[in-house]
Amino acid sequence: MKDIMDTDLPVVNLHPGELFVAQEPTLITTILGSCVSVCLFCPRQKVGAMCHGVMPVRSDLNMEDSFRFVETSVRYMIEVLTHGKALCPNAGLVAKIFGGADVLDVRFDTVGKVETIGAMNIKAAREALARYNVSVAVEKVGGVRGCKIFFFTHTGDVLMRRIPQLNS
């Protein structure tokens, strides 16, 4: 089998809290645990964007509006893809969500409901996309194992490899 990374495309490795909007064919990769990646693709313009969100939403409005937050990242990517050079209508965007695994047993009480950071990140991604009327074509989220994803921005294809669990 041919190695995914054996490509002539530029390769961008996203780190936590980063995002990338590709105006030319690019392979974007990242490794996820409880973090969430949203991949947005515009079939009409053949451009895409991907984020690596660490936390669901910015809780302190005085805090820097950074790409560590899923909601902020989704909003920014949609704005760039629908108002920038790409000019793709919201209805034309294809969204795919990955990650949000419960790799750590850390839970938060959110209004009387106990949730993991992974579940909160998934919910934030779904809600942000719904707010902008972008439908989700693929969701591979949750579970207890992390994953590595490979997003081909010019085709919208995303390949995912689960990371094996370590036996303790």
Tens of pLDDT, residues 46-85: 999 999 999 988 766 555 668 999 999 999 999 999 886 5
Q: Which domain holds residue 76?
A: 11-161
Cα torsion for 43, 49, 51, 56, to the nearest 10°?
-60
- Half-sphere exposure of residue 40: CA atoms within 13 angstroms, side-chain side: 35
pLDDT score, position 64: 61
Q: Which residues of 11-45 are buried (b: 16+ CB within 10 A; e: fewer)?
A: ebebeebbbbbbeebbbbbbbbbbbbbbbbbbeee
Q: Does the residue 72 lie in any domain?
A: yes
- Half-sphere exposure of residue 133: CA atoms within 13 angstroms, side-chain side: 5
Q: Does the residue 2 lie in any domain?
A: no
CATH code assigned at 95: 3.30.1330.200
pLDDT score, position 92: 85
- State how many domains the chain has: 1
Q: Does the residue 167 lie in any domain?
A: no
pLDDT score, position 103: 78
Q: Does the residue 6 lie in any domain?
A: no
d(CA 81, CA 17): 19
Taking Cα atoms as reference points, which of 14, 37, 11, 6 lies closest to residue 26?
11
pTM (two decimals):
0.87
Q: Does the residue 3 lie in any domain?
A: no
Segment (H or E) for 33: none
Segment (H or E) for 99: strand 94-99
Q: What is the DSSP letter of 95?
A: E
Q: Does the residue 4 lie in any domain?
A: no
User: Mean per-residue pLDDT for 22-41?
Assistant: 96
Q: Does the residue 166 lie in any domain?
A: no
Q: Does the residue 64 lie in any domain?
A: yes
Asked whether the predicted pLDDT for residue 36 surpasses 80, the reply is: yes
